[in-house]
A and B are shown apart, each in its own frame.
Chain A
Amino acid sequence: MNANLLLLAIADGVSYAGLLFLVALGLTLIFGVMGILNVAHGSLYAFGGYTAATLVGWAMQAAGGPTLLLLGALLAAAALVGVVLGVVLEIGLLRQVQGRDPVLQLLVTFGAFMMLEDAQRLIWGASPYSTSEVVSRLGTSELLGVTYTNYQLLLIPVMAIVIYAALQYFLRHSRVGKQIVATTHNAEVATAMGINVRRIRLVTFVLGAILGALGGALAAPTTSLVPGVGTEMIVLSFAVVATAGLGQITGALVAAAMIGLARSFAIYTVPELEVVVPYLIMVIVLLVRPYGLFTVARARRI
């Protein structure tokens, strides 16, 4: 592997890790507050991607599409999908099974995932979808002799870092953020302290859903969307979340970087193993630390 390929692999890996982090962040946030692994998160990613592709298409037709408008369309798609599907899923489903057997809660999101997969195929069909216009608008940069698109090299990683920082600030310094942290620690005590846990659950779920959809929307310009992207993403982002430890935000950043880079190195060296590498990392980590890298020890409740 020469230096150019190495750089290319790193650039690929960082950009992919950024997307992975956004999706995993949504997943881990929802888990922290609600104790639910939202399997339908993969569908949110797919819906975000498809909606972004559609909106960017419209923006280009209607206004000729200045670059900023196209970027705005990506973000708008994520917000739209996150709010609409997030509210529907939380109020329509998760609220109904709150407090039930965790396996049943998991199965309910799995059922929603199956339904959304078909809904997505009904709306956008089975042929590949993509919208690379945004990427070519932003141009390319040369880094030590390797040319790479600004979109993947700068926009995605910067976006991921900004969102990470903003979320940390939000959780530590805003009223709602602090309430979310309190609910994560203990929902019953939070209720006793006068926090409206119902509202917090809804807010968190929608926030997580937007992050999942944003991952999809940002991925839309660089990948082609086909039925099944949602499945791949939910499993992969679970691998990130599990490696980090469920509910760990900073951990998810580190784990996403690890898995994103490892995956892109695998693509350049042993392409057959591309799919296996993320799980290999997860399995090795879980063998040594069964509840993830960054989980703190918890008291056992009998």
Chain B
Amino acid sequence: MLIRAITAGGAIACIAAGLAFPWAKTSIVTALCYGLAALGVAVLMRAGQVSFGHAMYACLSAYTVAFLARRFPGLDAALLIGAGVAASLASGAVIGSFVVRYREIFFAMLNLALSMVLFSLLGKFYEVTGGTDGLRIDRPTLAGIALDRAGYETALLLVTVGLCVLLGSLVQRFFHSSAGEALAAVKSNETRLEYLGLSAQRILWNGYVLSAGLAGLAGALVALLQGLVTPESGYWLRSGELVFIAILGGAAHALGSFIGALAFEVIKLFAAAYLTGVWQLILGAVLIGVILVAPGGITGVLLKPRRAAKPKFQPEPVAGGS
């Protein structure tokens, strides 16, 4: 009930704030997109894995959008978004089939390494990618309608809020489906999961592809909003921010990522106004603080009373599941 109220209230507040203060539209859409991508990271976090390179999927999707928009001018935004998501899903499926064999440190660092490779390749192949300057995208039509800048941003705001509510609830349903519960079992005890006849790698792969798709959607939306894609969008710091948001929001509920993202955007605006140049310092400090004080994040704190209803007995986690 609480969750539904927050979701509805939050969605309405986002739209209302965007309409009332046009300058805030970009910030809100960006924050929600960060939330979508962080939701992808949170999906993996439920399986006990953390990816330090997930911005690469947002980046891959953004470049797909840019390439297509430049090659075929007049392509509709909906098609561009679809193509971006498809590209991130496909690359997630390929890369995922390799990285799901690893856990924890290896999983985190392999993702980081791959994203670093993508980042530097995008910067090096100037002729194709425009180097560090990136690629411009002209404003496309949205569902066949050509819009001016203000209308385009409003439309993107509405689309983004809609997608966030839709995907947020779908992912939450996924968490409590059998596939989603199996994903959480990868964290608690992988060996027992295998004894049930389920392939832990396969389950993690599903989660990985889903998370890549979510990050890709976010990347495509941001690319269309900004009209510019740069290798910067795949930099490790972006991935770090996604991890930050997912931890801050907590993986207990899909809503957490969006709350985390809005909190993140507020911290960012605050830091930009008063504390320029120490942005990472603040992020790092808050990250460590959250881990030490409330490892479950915001949703962990919000949903705490419910856990008391569960039986007291919790099987001891067994060290070294593999």
Interface residues of A (CB under 8 A from B): 37, 93, 96-97, 100-104, 106-108, 110-119, 121-122, 231-232, 235, 238-239, 242, 246, 272, 275-276, 279, 282-283, 286-287, 290, 300-302
Of the listed stretches B10-18, B74-82, B156-164, B275-283, name the one at the interface; the rest are far from the partner chain: B275-283
CB within 8 Å of A: which B122-175 residues: 124-125
B113 touches A235 (CB 8 A): yes
B291 touches A107 (CB 8 A): yes
Of the listed stretches B23-31, B101-109, B259-267, name the one at the interface; the rest are far from the partner chain: B101-109
Determine if B287 is an interface residue (Cβ-Cβ < 8 Å). Answer: yes
B284's contact among A97, A111, A121, A279, by CB below 8 Å, is which? Answer: A111
Q: What chain A residues lie within 8 Å of B199 (beta carbons)?
A: none
Question: How many interface residues does chain B have, given as a range?
Answer: 35 or more
Complex: A125 Cα to B262 Cα, angstroms: 31
Closest 9 A/B residue pairs (Cβ):
A114-B284, A115-B284, A111-B287, A118-B281, A111-B288, A111-B284, A301-B320, A118-B280, A275-B120
A122 touches B322 (CB 8 A): no
B281 touches A93 (CB 8 A): no
Residues of B contacting A: mostly = helix
Chain A: which residue is nearest B189 at the CB level?
Answer: A302
- Please, could you name 7 A-B residue pairs with CB atoms under 8 Å apart, sorted by A? A97-B292, A103-B50, A111-B287, A272-B124, A286-B110, A287-B98, A301-B318
CB within 8 Å of A: which B276-315 residues: 277-281, 283-285, 287-288, 291-292, 295
Determine if B240 is an interface residue (Cβ-Cβ < 8 Å). Answer: yes
Smallest beta-carbon distance B185→chain A, Å: 14
Q: What chain A residues lie within 8 Å of B287 (beta carbons)?
A: 107-108, 110-111, 114
Smallest beta-carbon distance B155→chain A, Å: 35
B116 touches A102 (CB 8 A): no
Central interface residue in B102, B124, B280, B321, by most chain A CB within 10 Å: B280
Determine if B117 is an interface residue (Cβ-Cβ < 8 Å). Answer: yes
A239 touches B281 (CB 8 A): no
Q: What chain B residues lie within 8 Å of A290 (beta carbons)?
A: 101-102
B48 touches A110 (CB 8 A): no
Complex: A103 Cα to B107 Cα, angstroms: 10
Interface residues of B (CB under 8 A from A): 45, 48-50, 52, 98, 101-102, 104-106, 108-110, 112-114, 116-117, 120-121, 124-125, 191, 236-237, 240, 243, 247, 277-281, 283-285, 287-288, 291-292, 295, 318-322
Report if A242-B121 is in contact (Cβ < 8 Å); known contacts: A106-B50, A111-B284: no
Report if A302-B191 is in contact (Cβ < 8 Å); known contacts: A246-B105, A275-B117, A287-B98: yes
A104's contact among B52, B278, B280, B295, by CB below 8 Å, is which? Answer: B295
A106 touches B284 (CB 8 A): no
Inter-chain pairs besides A108-B288, A235-B116, 9 sampled, C-beta below 8 Å: A100-B295, A102-B105, A103-B104, A106-B50, A108-B287, A111-B283, A116-B284, A235-B112, A300-B191
Complex: A108 Cα to B289 Cα, angstroms: 9
Q: What chain A residues lie within 8 Å of B112 (beta carbons)?
A: 235, 238
A114 touches B281 (CB 8 A): yes
B280 touches A117 (CB 8 A): yes
B105's contact among A37, A112, A113, A282, by CB below 8 Å, is which? Answer: A37
A242's contact among B106, B285, B292, by CB below 8 Å, is which? Answer: B106
Smallest beta-carbon distance A188→chain B, Å: 10
B108 touches A108 (CB 8 A): no
B295 touches A119 (CB 8 A): no
Smallest beta-carbon distance B100→chain A, Å: 11
Chain B: which residue is nearest A239 at the CB level?
Answer: B113
B108's contact among A106, A272, A287, by CB below 8 Å, is which? Answer: A106
Complex: A20 Cα to B319 Cα, angstroms: 32
B113 touches A282 (CB 8 A): yes
Q: What chain B residues lie within 8 Å of A96 (beta carbons)?
A: 292
Chain A: which residue is nearest B103 at the CB level?
Answer: A102
Smallest beta-carbon distance B50→chain A, Å: 5
A113's contact among B108, B284, B292, by CB below 8 Å, is which? Answer: B284
Smallest beta-carbon distance A300→chain B, Å: 7
Smallest beta-carbon distance B91→chain A, Å: 15
Smallest beta-carbon distance B322→chain A, Å: 7
Q: What chain A residues lie within 8 Å of B288 (beta carbons)?
A: 93, 108, 111-112, 115
Chain B: which residue is nearest A117 at the CB level?
Answer: B280
Complex: A103 Cα to B50 Cα, angstroms: 7
Q: What chain A residues lie within 8 Å of B113 (beta carbons)?
A: 235, 238-239, 279, 282
B109's contact among A107, A115, A119, A242, by CB below 8 Å, is which? Answer: A242
Report if A122-B191 is in contact (Cβ < 8 Å); known contacts: A37-B105, A107-B291, A283-B98: no
Complex: A108 Cα to B114 Cα, angstroms: 22
B243 touches A37 (CB 8 A): no
Q: What chain B residues lie within 8 Å of A235 (beta carbons)?
A: 109, 112-113, 116
Smallest beta-carbon distance A268→chain B, Å: 16
B284 touches A112 (CB 8 A): yes
Report if A110-B114 is in contact (Cβ < 8 Å); known contacts: A115-B285, A118-B277, A290-B101: no
Smallest beta-carbon distance A298→chain B, Å: 9
